[in-house]
Amino acid sequence: MAETLTITDNRTGKQYEVPVTDGVIRATDLRQVKSGPDDPGLMTYDPAFMNTASCRSRITFIDGDKGILEYRGYPIEQLAEGSSYLETAYLIVVGELPTSDQLESWKGAITRHAALPENIEKLMEGFQQDAHPMGVFLSTVGALSTYYPDAKHISDEQSRSTQIHRLIAKVPTIAAYAYRHGIGQPLNQPDGNLSFTGNFLSMLFQTKEAKYKVNPVLEKALDVLFILHVDHEQNCSTSAMRGIGSSQVDPYSAMAGAAAALYGPLHGGANEAVLRMLNEIGHVDKVPAFIKRVKAGEGRLMGFGHRVYKSYDPRAKIIKRTADEVFEVTGRNPLLDIALELERIALQDDYFVSRKLYPNVDFYSGLIYEAMKFPVTMFPVMFAIARTSGWIAQWQEMVLDSEQKISRPRQIYLGSARRDYVTIAKRT
Ligand code: CMC
- Single out the residue of 359, 386, 341 nearest to residue 137, CA to CA: 386
Taking the alpha carbons at both ends of the chain, their separation in whole angstroms is 66
CA-nearest residue, atom 29 of ligand 1: 307
Distance from the alpha carbon of residue 229 to the mean position of ligand 1, in angstroms: 19
With beta carbons less than 8 A apart as the criterion, state whether 32 and 69 touch: no
For residue range 47-72, what is the model confidence (pLDDT) as tens digits?
999 999 999 999 999 999 999 999 99
Distance CA 262, CA 269 (A): 7
Q: How confident is the model at residue 168 (pLDDT cuts 50, 70, 90)?
A: very high
Q: How confident is the model at residue 129 (pLDDT cuts 50, 70, 90)?
A: very high
Taking residues 376-389, report their average pLDDT.
96
Asked if residue 198 has pLDDT above 90, the reply is: yes
CA-nearest residue, atom 52 of ligand 1: 267
The mean predicted confidence, pLDDT, of the chain is: 96
266 Cβ below 6 A of ligand 1: yes
With beta carbons less than 8 A apart as the criterion, state whether 289 and 261 touch: no
For the question of residue 130 being annotated catalytic, the response is no
With beta carbons less than 8 A apart as the criterion, state whether 290 and 281 touch: yes
Q: What pLDDT does residue 298 have?
A: 96
Q: How confident is the model at residue 210 (pLDDT cuts 50, 70, 90)?
A: confident
66 Cβ below 6 A of ligand 1: no
Distance from the alpha carbon of residue 334 to the mean position of ligand 1, in angstroms: 26
Asked if residue 209 has pLDDT above 90, the reply is: no
Taking residues 139-149, report their average pLDDT.
98
Give the type of residue at 3. E
Asked if residue 412 has pLDDT above 90, the reply is: yes
For residue range 214-241, what is the model confidence (pLDDT) as tens digits?
999 999 999 999 999 999 999 999 999 9
Asked if residue 391 has pLDDT above 80, the reply is: yes
Taking residues 34-43, report their average pLDDT.
95
Q: Which of 29, 153, 267, 349 is catalytic?
A: 267
Q: What 3 state SS string does the chain have?
A: CCCEEEEECCCCCCEEEEECECCECCHHHHHHCCCCCCCCCCCCCCHHHCCCCCCCCCCEEEECCCCEEEECCEEHHHHHHHCCHHHHHHHHHHCCCCCHHHHHHHHHHHHHCCCCCHHHHHHHHCCCCCCCHHHHHHHHHHHHHHHCHHHHCCCCHHHHHHHHHHHHHHHHHHHHHHHHHHCCCCCCCCCCCCCHHHHHHHHHHCCCCCCCCCCHHHHHHHHHHHHHCCCCCCCHHHHHHHHHHCCCCCHHHHHHHHHHHHHCCCCCCHHHHHHHHHHHHCCHHHHHHHHHHHHCCCCCCCCECCCCCCCCCHHHHHHHHHHHHHHHHHCCCCHHHHHHHHHHHHCCCHHHHHCCCCECHHHHHHHHHHHCCCCHHHHHHHHHHHHHHHHHHHHHHHHHCCCCCCCCCCCCCCCCCCCCCCCHHHCC
Helix axes 133-147, 157-182, angle to 10 degrees: 140
Q: What pLDDT does residue 131 have?
A: 97
Asked if residue 1 has pLDDT above 90, the reply is: no
Distance CA 12, CA 365 (A): 55
Q: How confident is the model at residue 414 (pLDDT cuts 50, 70, 90)?
A: very high
Bin 339: left if φ > 0, else alpha if -120 < ψ < 50, else beta: alpha
Q: How confident is the model at residue 163 (pLDDT cuts 50, 70, 90)?
A: very high
Q: Which atom of ligand 1 is nearest to the CA of 360?
A: 48
Q: Which one has a higher pLDDT value, 208 or 127?
A: 127
Q: Which of 165, 223, 306, 313 is catalytic?
A: 306
Distance CA 414, CA 360 (A): 37
Asked if residue 195 has pLDDT above 80, the reply is: yes
Q: How confident is the model at residue 96 (pLDDT cuts 50, 70, 90)?
A: very high
Q: What pLDDT does residue 365 have?
A: 92
pTM, two decimal places: 0.95
Q: What pLDDT does residue 338 have?
A: 96
Please compute Rg for the chain using Cα positions.
24
